[in-house]
Amino acid sequence: MDESTVAVMLRDLAETPPPPSSVDISRAAVAGRRRVRMRRLMSGASAAGVAAVVALVAMVSTGLPTEGPGPNNPGSMPSAAPAQFDPFLQYAEFGWLPEGSVGSTITIDPRFYFNLSAEFETPAISSDQSAVRRVDLWLAPAGQNVEFGLPDVPAPGSYESTQFNGREAWWFEDGSRTTLRWQYAPQTWAAVDVVLDGPGAGRDVARRVAENVRYGVDLPIRQPFTTTGVPTHWWVCLVMVYRHGQEWDVEVTYAHDLDADWALTIHAAWPSERVTAVPTTVVDGYPARTDARATYGAGLQLFNVDGMFVDLQYYDAQTGALLPDGLVGVFRATEFYPDPADWR
Amino acid sequence: MGSRAWLALEVYVKTDDERRYIDYVSSRLAWLRKVAFLLCQDWHRADDLAQAAITRLYVHWHSASRADNLDAYTRRVLVREFLSARRTVWGSRVDLHADPASAAPPTVHWPAPQASADDDPVTRMEVRAALAQVPARQRAALVLRYYCDLSVVETAEVLRCSPGTVKSQTARGLAALRLALESRQFVPADR
């Protein structure tokens, strides 16, 4: 048997008629987004001990701020960070952004971070004509050694120490991305990420965004759904609200207990036409898709639910066992409000 | 039905980058599944492998999308995911269910028309069974060399080994495949 024979055999075997695919790109994107978030969060973890010492030295040399948070006073940093973030309150807001922001995302993992993101689909023009693609604000809760923006092994010259509002801070640059990381409260890190179209004055933009952050605004984050389908003792471990013109999508993810990983996500998006997929079944009159996988839990996607796309997922068999009526039961116990004016 | 299912995989997107990711994966999913199937010999495992690979691809999309050869990057992710999963999750998984296509009797026989008429016809089922007996790393070498048409050097890069190792893995893989096929039970064409 020579090599060409093997090649023919393999090519023929590859043409075996496949069963319907169970590969789910949306699930991969959800899982991938989560890993990306965690990678970003954890990227500086290895330097935590060093940074704590640096922070302590900085505090001794500069003194602690005496003013409390100033929601209407951009740049005024709080004397203490929240112990954890309320998943339904927007803790901070941008006091300044470059022109041209067209979309925004709020993501809150109460224990680990608050993230506010602005997208610039039509390139904005910053002071030095650099096109801004994205601006992110990251805040850690008190007591969490989350250091945003610093990689495990920074390339020499890619970061440098600086000062921000009298506290130790760092610049980190990676291609078109510029990060300013500073302590917005004692020993508690914040970061602004600026992604430009190309090399440019990312530092100017990042510094100005950071200087104008309004802390402690605590704006209510309203939701396009309410549910009684999730056990009341489960807690919300992630909220994500995305708005872009008339389009939106919102995810709320639950965990069983404080130590648990993600258990269940309820996700709604509008308009449903943003999702083009072939339904495989019908649930309560709505075109739907279902998938059940031993490894990844199960998913239920429904199309055109009062104009919305609804996606329910749980991530492990244990959660499935705790939902007696499955994801269909969760869907039926959830009330949806497609008009943002009606969000609760 | 399979192609219909593949077409069903365009989903909502939030960013241009994510849109490009979904467009790319949607367009290459059939190919990814085929390579995964050759590595796994089981469509369920192949889909699990493809799922894991495209998740990893998403995580690295910033780098991947800037790669000179995105297909090569994706194939590398898939093969490395296969080899790493062989050491972890799959070793403990036993609850795989046969799917209709897997269980169907073979309907196409090899050798192909250009092969020698003296050769015994070998069914896809037999090739599949024989390939499954080839150790994973050797199997990956065979798939990369003879299905993906990679050179020895390219295969070495994917497998993170020297070209010499690729040659020896390929030779051993060929030997193992030959041995497995020689010991096969003949399956009549009209069965």
Q: Taking CB atoms and an 8 Å cutoff, what residues of chain A touch B128?
A: 13, 16
So what's the pLDDT on residue A49? Answer: 32
The ipTM, to two decimals, is: 0.75
Test B11 with A25 for CB contact under 8 angstroms.
yes
Among partner residues B57, B111, B127, which is closest to A13 by beta-carbon distance? Answer: B127
Residues A267/A251, Cβ–Cβ less than 8 Å: yes
Residues B57/B28, Cβ–Cβ less than 8 Å: no
Test B33 with A242 for CB contact under 8 angstroms.
no
Mutate to test the interface with B, among A9, A37, A291 (most CBs of B within 10 A): A9
Test B181 with A275 for CB contact under 8 angstroms.
no
DSSP, residue by residue, B31-84: HHHHHHHHHHSSHHHHHHHHHHHHHHHHHTHHHHTTSS-HHHHHHHHHHHHHHH
The rounded distance, in Å, linking the Cα atoms of A246 and A341 is 12
Test A28 with B58 for CB contact under 8 angstroms.
yes
Among partner residues B57, B100, B146, which is closest to A6 by beta-carbon distance? Answer: B146
- DSSP 8-state symbol, B124: H
In terms of Cα–Cα distance, which of B122, B120, B132, B135 is closest to B170? B135
So what's the pLDDT on residue A260? Answer: 57
Distance from CA of B91 to the nearest CA of A (A): 14
Regions of chain A with pLDDT less than 70: 1, 37-75, 121-130, 145-158, 198-200, 258-261, 275-277, 292-297
So what's the pLDDT on residue B25? Answer: 94
Q: What is the pLDDT of residues B136-177, one digit of tens each?
A: 888 999 999 999 999 988 898 888 777 777 887 888 888 888
Q: Taking CB atoms and an 8 Å cutoff, what residues of chain B touch A244?
A: 14
Search chain B and give the residue with CA nearest A10.
B147
* Side-chain half-sphere CA neighbours of B183 within 13 A: 9
Residues B184/B122, Cβ–Cβ less than 8 Å: yes
Q: Taking CB atoms and an 8 Å cutoff, what residues of chain A touch B43?
A: 18-19
The rounded distance, in Å, linking the Cα atoms of A236 and A329 is 19
Mutate to test the interface with B, among A1, A8, A10, A24 (most CBs of B within 10 A): A10
Q: Taking CB atoms and an 8 Å cutoff, what residues of chain B touch A33?
A: 58
Q: Which domains, from first to last, does chain B contain?
A: 9-91 (1.10.1740), 120-184 (1.10.10.10)
CA A18 from chain centre, in angstroms, equals 35
Q: How many beta-carbon contacts under 8 Å exist across A and B?
A: 164
Mutate to test the interface with B, among A4, A8, A13 (most CBs of B within 10 A): A13
Test A25 with B101 for CB contact under 8 angstroms.
no
CB neighbour list of residue A260: distance below 8 Å, 6 or more residues apart: A237
Among partner residues A14, A28, A39, which is closest to B34 by beta-carbon distance? Answer: A14
The rounded distance, in Å, linking the Cα atoms of A37 and A33 is 6
Distance from CA of B137 to the nearest CA of A (A): 16
Strands (E), chain B: 109-110, 122-123
Test A9 with B11 for CB contact under 8 angstroms.
no
User: Residue B63 corresponds to which tokens in the numbers above?
Assistant: 């780098």
pLDDT per position in chain B (191 positions), as tens? 232 222 223 333 346 677 889 889 999 999 999 999 999 988 888 988 999 899 989 988 877 887 888 999 999 999 988 887 654 333 222 222 223 333 333 333 333 333 333 444 567 888 888 888 888 888 999 999 999 999 988 898 888 777 777 887 888 888 888 888 876 543 333 32
CB neighbour list of residue A161: distance below 8 Å, 6 or more residues apart: A168, A169, A170
**HEC profile for chain A?**
CCHHHHHHHHHHHHCCCCCCCCCCHHHHHHHHHHHHHHHHHHCCHHHHHHHHHHHHHHHHHHCCCCCCCCCCCCCCCCCCCCCCCCCCEEEEECCCCCCCCCEEEEEEECCCEEEEEEEEEEEEECCCCCEEEEEEEEECCCCCCCCCCCCCCCCCCCEEEEEECCEEEEEEEECCEEEEEEEEECCEEEEEEEEECCCCCHHHHHHHHHHCCEEEEEEECCCCEEECCCCCCCEEEEEEEEEECCEEEEEEEEECCCCCCCCEEEEEEECHHHCCCCCCEEECCEEEEEEEECCCEEEEEEEEECCEEEEEEECCHHHHHCCCCHHHHHHHCEEECCCHHHCC
